[in-house]
Structures are given as structure tokens and as C-alpha cells.
Amino acid sequence: MSVSTEIQTLVSDIDRMMDELAAMRRRIIALLQQATVSLVPVSEWEAVGMWADREDMRGISTEDWLARLRAQQWGRSSGRLTV
């Protein structure tokens, strides 16, 4: 193989690798965007599914409901009754 042919082969390999890197970069950006969308604070959650129909969920945000639940669970674990 001549030096010229070898150089052309190397340049072609570099071009191919650059295309692959660009494709990987696009995939990473897409995954990061999906992760950002899925990481919504609890304060922005909507009551969904069975929660929306529960008597104790009417008129209360998901964040408040979780805070009450946490307080009840911590109260039980420490031997105190907290509601």
C-alpha cells in the first residue's frame, strides 16, 4: 500500500469516527433532555390514577399529601402519634 493510499484510508477513518462521535453526541443530548423532562419536582406533580379519586387527596396537592404521609410514618417510627 502506498503512502498516499494509506493517508487517504486514515483520513477516511477519521471522517467516519467524527461522524460516529457526532451521532453519539446527539444521542447523549437527547438522553439528557429526556432526563431533564422526567426529573420534575414533587411540587409540580399532579395527583394521578387512584390518588385523584381518594377522599384524602381532594383539595390537596401531591406535595402536601406526601408531607402528611411522611409525618405520619416518622411519627409511627418514633413511637409518637403524629397526624
Q: What is the pLDDT of residue 81?
A: 47
39-80 pLDDT tens trace: 666 656 665 555 667 776 777 777 777 788 888 888 765 555
The answer to whether residues 34 and 47 belong to one domain is no
The answer to whether residues 27 and 47 belong to one domain is no
pTM, two decimal places? 0.41
48 lies in which domain range?
A: 42-83
The answer to whether residues 56 and 79 belong to one domain is yes
The answer to whether residues 48 and 63 belong to one domain is yes
* Ordered alpha helix ranges (H), the chain: 3-38, 50-53, 62-77
Amino acid at 53: D
